[in-house]
């Protein structure tokens, strides 16, 4: 799932920047989030579904998904709702304060979006180009360039590629083994970041893949009767992550004026899964919704039989996505570890 959102620069009025580094410029970061991450994507993208909120002291344009958007935005001090770029009710003023280009269930592998008929990375880039044209028409070349270069672009991907396209369909297995497929994924990620750079982006937060083998759905499908974490998907995620880290290091050497920061979500999520009681959780192997073993997205609703009464005791809401409590723990930890790296 990949998503993209965008922001601009906000006034310091009514903002609390006390938790930011003392030398942190109080600018509004546009976070362009490309969400392919099952862990962070809890709705399939439609024209009007994207919700983003703020949860930090820095303004950001985000390509994120609903739950993640809301909690991340709350931590970053961003406006509460980001309309979808394709929303027919979008107003010109929204282009200055935040728009979402994200498309859930997309991936670094172009096939991933095609399999589920969602907007892939090329479509997101095209929308972003169109956005830039509208931005220039509104505020001029100079301010547009400043907005783009001072924005933070969050890129989250890899989960759907591995768990859905590679492990869930036969299409790629005939041609690629896991090492070759993760090479394909990293090439896609690098190309996407390069395209954003060529369009004026300079700051990137690039998320790792999570421990996919510990998702409730993977436990159900591949974890045997005991529904244990599955080593294969986890190893695939780790291999992808190591290659992604190396690719970002090369990017930073090539473009010294830019910053592409690797954000390790794998370790943070696995720490919670391995030590749930330390975080106040009681259940890690299944989600709160329904049976918690396979349900996801629209299959989780108020009418789903068996849904738990207290989601705060669960690490996962459905078979793919964490609960709000888990998201908050992750966001707080990841922000603390990474926010100062962008300045």
Q: At residue 18, does pLDDT exceed 90?
A: no
User: What is the extent of the structural domain holding 138?
Assistant: 5-11+26-266+326-342
168 to 218, 233, 257, 287: CA distances (angstroms): 10, 11, 40, 20
**What distance lies between CA 7 and its chain's CA centroid?**
16
Q: What is the CATH number of the domain that holds 245?
A: 3.40.50
What integer pLDDT is reported at residue 31 of this predicted model? 44
Q: Which residues pair with 22 in a beta bridge?
A: none
33 token code pair: 């989030």
DSSP string computed for 163-190: IIIIHH-STTTTT--HHHHHHHHHHHHH
Contact present, 295 and 217 (Cβ < 8 Å):
no
Give the total number of structural domains in the chain.
1
Higher pLDDT, 10 or 136: 136
At 255, give phi and psi (nearest 5°): -120, 85
Return the pLDDT at 75.
56
Which residue from 260, 274, 263 is spatially nearest to 241, judged by alpha carbons? 263
Sign of CA dihedral 180, 184, 189, 191: positive
Distance CA 116, CA 1 (A): 10
Q: Is the whole model's pTM more than 0.75, yes or no?
A: yes
Q: Looking at the domain assignment, is residue 287 inside a domain?
A: no
CA pair distance 317, 295, nearest whole angstrom: 10
Task: Determine, yes or no, domain membership for 293.
Answer: no
Confidence of residue 130 (pLDDT cuts 50, 70, 90): very high
How many CB atoms lie under 10 A from the CB of residue 302?
Answer: 5
Q: What is the mean pLDDT of residues 57-85?
A: 49
- Assess if residue 273 is contained within a domain: no
Instruction: Assess contact for 32 and 128: CB atoms under 8 A.
Output: yes
CA distances from 263 to 37, 54, 193, 204, 331 (A): 13, 19, 15, 10, 11
Checking if the pLDDT of 23 tops 50, the result is: no
| Residue 100 belongs to some domain of the structure | yes
Residue 310 lies in a domain: no
Report angle CA 218, 222, 226 to the nearest 5 degrees.
Answer: 95
Within the chain, residue ranges assigned H as helices are: 66-76, 94-97, 110-116, 121-149, 159-160, 167-168, 178-198, 216-222, 231-254, 265-274, 324-338
Contact of 118 with 106, CB cutoff 8 Å = yes
Q: Does residue 302 lie within any of the structural domains? A: no
Taking CA atoms, 300 is separated from 65, 106, 307, in Å, by 16, 20, 9
**In a domain? residue 289:** no
Tokens of 182: 């993760």
Residue 22 has pLDDT above 80, yes or no: no
The reply to whether 75 falls in a domain is yes
Query: Average pLDDT of 152-171?
Result: 91
In terms of Cβ atoms closer than 10 Å to its own Cβ (0-12, 13-18, 19+), residue 333 is middle
pLDDT at 79: 57
Q: Which three-class secondary structure state does DSSP give residue 107?
A: coil
More confident residue, 97 or 321: 321
The mean pLDDT value for 92-98 works out to: 78
Residues 77-85, mean pLDDT to the nearest whole number: 65
* pLDDT at 34 exceeding the cut of 50: no
d(CA 23, CA 40): 30
How far apart, in Å, are the Cα atoms of 123 and each of 85, 118, 143? 12, 9, 25
């Amino acid at each position: 799932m990949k998503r993209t959102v965008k922001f601009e620069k906000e006034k310091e009025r009514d903002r609390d920047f006390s938790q930011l580094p003392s030398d942190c410029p109080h600018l509004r970061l546009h976070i362009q989030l490309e969400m392919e991450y099952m862990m962070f994507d809890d709705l399939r993208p439609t024209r009007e579904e994207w919700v983003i909120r703020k949860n930090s002291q820095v303004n950001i344009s985000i390509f994120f998904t609903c739950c993640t958007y809301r909690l991340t935005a709350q931590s970053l001090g961003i406006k509460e709702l980001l309309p979808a770029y394709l929303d027919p009710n979008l107003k010109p003023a929204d282009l200055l304060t935040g728009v979402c280009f994200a498309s859930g269930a997309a991936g670094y592998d172009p096939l991933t979006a095609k399999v589920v008929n969602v907007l892939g990375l090329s479509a997101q880039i095209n929308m972003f180009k169109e956005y830039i044209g509208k931005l220039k028409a509104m505020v001029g070349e100079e301010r547009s360039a400043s907005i783009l270069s001072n924005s933070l672009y969050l890129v989250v991907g890899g989960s759907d590629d591995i768990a859905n396209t590679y492990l869930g369909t036969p299409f790629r297995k005939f041609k690629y083994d896991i090492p070759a497929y993760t090479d394909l994924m990293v090439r896609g990620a690098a190309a996407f970041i390069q395209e954003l750079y060529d369009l004026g982006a300079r700051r990137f937060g690039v998320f790792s893949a999570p421990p996919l083998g510990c998702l409730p759905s993977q436990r159900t499908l591949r974890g045997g009767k005991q529904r244990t974490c599955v080593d294969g998907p986890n190893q695939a995620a780790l291999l992808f992550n190591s290659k992604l880290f190396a690719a970002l290091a090369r990017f930073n050497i090539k473009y010294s004026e830019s910053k592409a920061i690797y954000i390790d979500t794998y370790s943070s999520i696995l720490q919670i899964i391995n030590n749930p009681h330390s975080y106040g959780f009681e259940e890690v192997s299944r989600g709160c919704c329904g049976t918690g073993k396979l349900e996801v997205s629209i299959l989780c609703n108020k009418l789903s039989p068996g849904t738990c009464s207290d989601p705060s005791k669960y690490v996962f809401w459905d078979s793919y996505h964490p609960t709000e409590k888990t998201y908050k723990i992750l966001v707080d930890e990841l922000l603390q570890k990474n926010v100062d790296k962008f300045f």
